[in-house]
Structure 1
Amino acid sequence: MKINLSGHHVELSDTVKEHVNEKFSKLASHFPTLIALDIIISKEHGEFDVEISTQYEGSRISASAENPVMYPAISKAAKKLDAALKHRKGQLKGDLHKKPECTTPDIAHEIIQEMDLR
């Protein structure tokens, strides 16, 4: 899985990159069709904002979190993304709109045809 990491008004050190890779390494094993993550870490007004977006099975999934400290913000966003991906995976696995099977017996049609309806 490819992780595209960018920082806005934040310097991304090697430790931050390692922390991000550690947090999102489990997602690659749980969701093998996940190809790439776009992660934006920005700092505004003393708060770190982490925004994550990805494509999963034809739909766009995104999560974001805020915290005065960067590492908890990354962890919160990772948990939110994991929950959103699990929700989408459940939607795909669920048989939501099955067509109901016909409950009338096959003989009923023949009996109605033979009846004298006046």
Structure 2
Amino acid sequence: MKINVSGHHVDITDAIRKHFDEKFAKIASHYPSLLTLDVIVSKDHNHFYTEINANYIGVHLSVKGEDEVMYPSIANAAKKLDAALRHRKGQIKANKHEKITG
């Protein structure tokens, strides 16, 4: 999975890129059809915001996380992305089963 990281009023260092790779390794293994993540880390009024955009099986997913510290902001967004992907995967699997009509 390719992770495109950009910063707005934040310098993206190699340590931050490594943190993203470690944080999203589990998501990459659970969702192999997820090819790219577009991540924007921004700082505004002493708050960090992390926005993640992904395209998973034809559906655009966008999640946001925020905190006063950058790393918890990233973790918050990663947790929301995992929940959104799990929800979408459940919808796809539910559509494959026959519905009971009464």
Q: State the TM-score bracket (shorter-chain normalisation).
A: over 0.9
Task: Give the match for residue 88 of structure 1.
Answer: 88
Cα 1:16–1:99 change in 2 (3 A) is closer
In the other structure, the counterpart of 2:29 is 29
Matched, 1:55 2:55: yes
Corresponding residue for residue 69 of structure 1 = 69
In 2, distance between residues paired with 1:12 and 1:24?
Answer: 17
Q: What SS class does the counterpart of residue 75 from structure 1 fall into? A: helix
Instruction: Note the residue ranges of structure 1 that are not aligned, 5 or more in a row.
Output: 104-118
Quick one: distance in 1 between partners of 2:45 and 2:96? 44
SS of 1:12's equivalent? coil
Paired residue secondary structure (1:76) = helix
Residue identity matched to 1:90: G
The farther-off stretch of 87-96 and 27-36 is 87-96
- What is the rounded CA distance, in whole Å, between the counterparts of 1:13 and 1:99 in structure 2? 50
Deviations 1:73-112 (CA, angstroms, capped at 9, x unpaired)? 00010000000000000000003884667x9xxxxxxxxx
Structure with higher Rg: it is: 1
Instruction: Return the structure number with greater strand share.
Output: 2
Residue 38 in structure 1 maps to residue 38 in structure 2: yes
Task: State the alpha-carbon separation in 2 of the partners of residues 46 and 98 from structure 1.
Answer: 51
Deviating beyond 3 angstroms after TM superposition, the runs of 4 or more aligned structure 1 residues are: 95-101
C-alpha separation between the residues in 2 aligned to 1:99 and 1:44? 48
* 1:27-67 Cα shifts (integer Å, max 9, x gaps): 11100100100000000010000000100011001110110
Q: CA, structure 1 residues 100+39, in 2 after alignment: closer, same or farther (shift >3 Å)?
A: same
Identity %: 54
User: Which amino acid is 2:69 matched to?
Assistant: V
